[in-house]
Amino acid sequence: MHSLATPTPAETLRVEYRDAPLDALLDDPGLLAVFGFGDDAPPAHADPRYLRVALPAHGAAPFECWRVDGEVRHGHADGIAWSEAGGLQFGTLSVVDDGDAEATAAAAYARLQAWLAAGRHPHPLRIWNYLDAITEGDGDEERYRRFCVGRACGIARELAPGELPAATAIGFPRRTGRFLLYWLAAARPGHPLENPRQVQAWRYPRQYGPQAPGFARALLPASEAMPLLLSGTAAVVGHASRHGDSLQAQLDEVLANLDSLIATARALRPGLPVHPGAGTRLKVYVRDAADLGTIDAWLDARLPGVPRIVLHGQVCRAELAVEIDGVHA
């Protein structure tokens, strides 16, 4: 008699923006994570599924909710807040940043690597990095460049292109003294994607620092029940920043890059919508607080009906004014 292998259940992830009391959201047993943005968001909660990100929001920002199938387990261990269900895990780590971005990132990423290796969700699909003063410092002493060196040191080996997660790195507009790292990991690896309009970040030339950034432009999870995960996307074509003198042209270039990533993903998953729509969720990071309303109004015209949260955050190149990440389904 031949035994049949038990099929691996499909991971599911639904990202929603919701206006509701935090405690009511946390009552949902299928809630994997919930994020608050802006000065009015609750500062902390005993439940490890809640995380406040200290980026001021344009207007009253909703909560970002990650929901999965199955009852979520959660807890704290080794300074990491975590939750998991259905082949997916959310985790977050906040560490003191004493000004040495390289050492801080190296220590945080070493902890992340050890955590992933010891658990049942060893494959990071999506990572967010938030740090103070991301473009402070000249030349190779710029904090983002030191962060890239530290991240590589903490990982302690060169990742193959097929291992790279989607990622975002944004600077807090006000100093926090903390480095915030959070992630979505899975039991199964995803499929990293690149944008044909851009040089792969991990192949950037030396002019951008001693260590090229280690991330993919987007990632398709193994399960078709999950959305396309979009990395932080800015007005970069090839490897060069574009339109440093025009905010509107930068936004147009960002949207062109998002469309290019979606087209690349649709070659592998044709069921994805052609353009951002009702199933898309975007976070928009704007360097200058004075531009928040302008960017929001332009997005109303360019992407009507697409849910978004507009945040005051510093892009990792000083000449870039806006960056967008999110999910698309």
Q: Which residues contact 27 (CB under 8 A, 6 or more apart)?
A: none
Going by C-alpha positions, the residue among 320, 155, 132 that lies closest to residue 239 is 320
Beta bridge partners of 123: 186
Token duo for residue 10: 């499909």
CA–CA separation, 109 vs 153, rounded Å?
8
Q: Which of 15, 20, 13, 89 is nearest to 48 (CA)?
A: 89
CA distance 126 to 231: 8
Q: Which is nearest to 272 in space by CA: 209, 193, 205, 197?
A: 193
Q: Is the separation of the CB atoms in 128 and 181 below 8 Å?
A: yes
| Exposed/middle/buried for residue 239 (C-beta within 10 Å: 0-12, 13-18, 19+) | middle
CA distances to 7, 86, 122, 211, 214 from 223, rounded to whole Å, are: 12, 11, 16, 32, 24
For residues 302 and 273, give the distance between their C-alpha atoms in angstroms, rounded to a whole number: 16
323 catalytic per annotation: yes
Structure-token pair, residue 161: 């292109």
Find the catalytic residue in 64, 102, 253, 323. Answer: 323
User: Tokens 């259905």 label which residue?
Assistant: 86
List, in order, residues 6 or more apart from 304 with CB less than 8 Å away. none
Residues annotated as catalytic (active site), given as ranges? 323
